[in-house]
Amino acid sequence: MILPAALALAVWAAEPAAWPPVPPGFSRPDSPLFSTLAKPEPPTEDLLAAGARWSNAAQAGRILPVARDSTFKIAVIGDAEPGRFSWERIFSPGKDAFARQLASIQSGAAKVVVQLGDFVSRGTVDNYRAHVRFLDERVRVPLLTVQGNHDRSRPNGSGDKSLYRAVFGPGDSYADVGGWRLVLVDTADRRLRPEQLAWLETALSGAERSLIFMHVPPAFLKGRIVAEEFQDMGADPEGYHPFEAFFEEGSREFGELASRHRVARVYVAHIHAFGHARHLGVPYVLSGGGGSPLYPLPPGWPARFAHYIDAELSPSGVRETVRKLDGSSFELNP
Ligand SMILES: [Fe+2]
């Protein structure tokens, strides 16, 4: 009797995969043993060297010049991590979905692609090495990235960001392309700190036209992300409130700041789905379908499919085409 009980306890402690599935964004508390074992790993020499190639600053320097008032394209792609546990991979849109979508982006006219975070299932040296190898082998278009919660040493709770910093650089930065400022913001800790908001204020003050990219969406979007292109989708009047799918701290201030600066779009991810919303006049686009598992979601949640977004930027604004992995596409009017 004691042995099976001890075995069950050991399984629970060591393997959160034994727990029931939870939708993305729900907090699955890490087991005590996992928390003990998941120690942050310091960056290795090869990862530090990769920063010279793949930091956002290095990649921004590769973007070909764009005339100030011209029209050009960028691409946006969301969560790509394959899932930490085997049961999660049941919902995968295909093992190579991220690679196929990146190949599609690179066959188009995008000047730069922005990946919205969660590119590894957990921030370990091995996972970062594999991702850097993938980038070295497959990616030719300039790539900017924001940090996702999975890209830290632990996906939930607090997590160390040393590996991300080594390869991709600071969490908050921007790149100017043509007359547009692409602003990358780190919400991987499920918050926006006052100093980040102050930095954003300055970054946006100097921009004529701007887009913001972040991983975890702000809390005011709870229950308001719709996908009316799909008949069975619509906002749940009660709203959905999965714990930790959104960030609370700094959310209200962020919404007001984005509105005051008339930000043209805010792209968010973390929820493995597609949808959009407006808040204080600013359009928000959820694009979490870069290749990660498409977990079942309750009715009223945004639509689930692997996709990326082609965004055409011109002095008159943004025009988006959502390109699905199955080859179909549709125009977006958020
Ligand atoms: Fe995430």
What the chain holds in terms of domains, given with CATH numbers, is: 41-332 (3.60.21.10)
100, 59, 107, 126: CA torsion to nearest 10 = -20
CA of 216 to the centre of ligand 1 (A): 6
Could you tell me the distance, in angstroms and rounded to a whole number, from the CA of residue 113 to the centre of ligand 1?
19
Span from the CA of 97 to the centroid of ligand 1 (angstroms):
17
- CA of 123 from ligand 1 middle (Å) equals 12
Overall average pLDDT of the 237-258 stretch: 78
CB 246 within 8 A of CB 222: yes
Distance 171 CA to ligand 1 centre (A): 15
Residue with tokens 């792209």: 267
Please say whether the beta carbons of 30 and 154 come within 8 A: yes
Which region among 146-150, 228-232, 330-334 has the lowest average model confidence (pLDDT)?
228-232
The residue among 258 and 227 whose pLDDT is bigger is 258
Ligand 1 centre to CA of 21 (Å) is 16
Residue 55's pLDDT band (cuts 50, 70, 90)? very high
pLDDT band at 12 (very low <50, low <70, confident <90, very high): very low
Measure 282 CA to ligand 1 centroid, in angstroms: 22
Query: Cα–Cα distance between 240 and 55 in angstroms, integer?
Result: 35
265 in Cβ contact with 285 (< 8 Å): yes
- CA 179 / ligand 1 centre spacing (Å): 30
Residue 233 has pLDDT above 60, yes or no: no
Q: 316 C-alpha vs ligand 1 centroid, how far in Å?
A: 32
Q: From ligand 1's centre to the CA of 1, what distance in Å?
A: 40
Residue pair 66/256 in contact (Cβ under 8 Å)? The answer is no
pLDDT at residue 36, as a whole number: 59
Label residue 222 by pLDDT band (50, 70, 90). Answer: confident
Q: 80 alpha carbon to ligand 1 midpoint, in Å?
A: 10
What is the distance in A from the centroid of ligand 1 to the CA of 110?
A: 25
Distance from Cα 2 to the centre of ligand 1, integer Å:
38
Out of 28-32, 200-204, 309-313, least confident range: 28-32
Distance 149 CA to ligand 1 centre (A): 5
Distance of CA 127 from the midpoint of ligand 1 (Å): 16
Ordered strands of the 329-332 beta sheet:
143-145, 110-115, 72-77, 307-314, 317-324, 329-332
